[in-house]
Amino acid sequence: QSALTQPASVSGSPGQSITISCTGTRSDVGGYYFVSWYQQLPGKAPKLMIYDVSNRPSGVSNRFSGSKSGNTASLTISGLLAEDEANYYCCSYTTSSTLVFGGGTKLTVL
């Protein structure tokens, strides 16, 4: 049950696009289309942004999109806004019927 691998930090200027990667194994990310992404603002509970690799819950901006190739999933945020500055976590279902999170990525909007 090793954590999924995410970059510790990414940054971008307002209006730009950024992508956060999330690498696992065939036992988790690569084995299912069950990857979700969460946004966590300081001192707050996480918020679901993407589920089932690329689906957005109602109310989440279409600036957020997800994809997957092999053992790596990605979250792309387009048209960066200052309010997007937060920590982002990926999460995958596993062959053990458990969930596993990534280590988290701090997004800085310059």
Partner 1 sequence: QVQLVESGGGVVQPGRSLRLSCAASGFTFSSYGMHWVRQAPGKGLEWVAVIWYDGNNKYYTDSVKGRFTISRDNSKNTLYLQMNSLRVEDTAVYYCARGVGADEHIDYWGQGTLVTVSS
For 12, the enclosing helix (H) or strand (E) is strand 9-12
Q: Which of residues 46-85 bind partner 1 (CB under 8 A)?
A: 46-48, 51-52, 57
Q: Which is nearer to partner 1, 4 or 77 (CB)?
A: 4
The reply on whether position 45 binds partner 1 by CB under 8 A is yes
Q: Which two tokens stand for residue 65?
A: 């999109």
DSSP letter assigned to residue 71: T
For partner 1, the closer CB: 32 or 78: 32
In this structure, the dihedral spanned by the alpha carbons of residues 57, 58, 63 and 68, taken in order and rounded to 10 degrees, is 20
Give yes or no for residue 34 binding partner 1 (CB under 8 A).
yes
- What the block records as the tokens of 68 is 């997957």
The contact set with partner 1 (CB under 8 A) reads 1, 3, 32, 34, 36, 38, 40, 45-48, 51-52, 57, 87, 89, 91, 93, 96-104
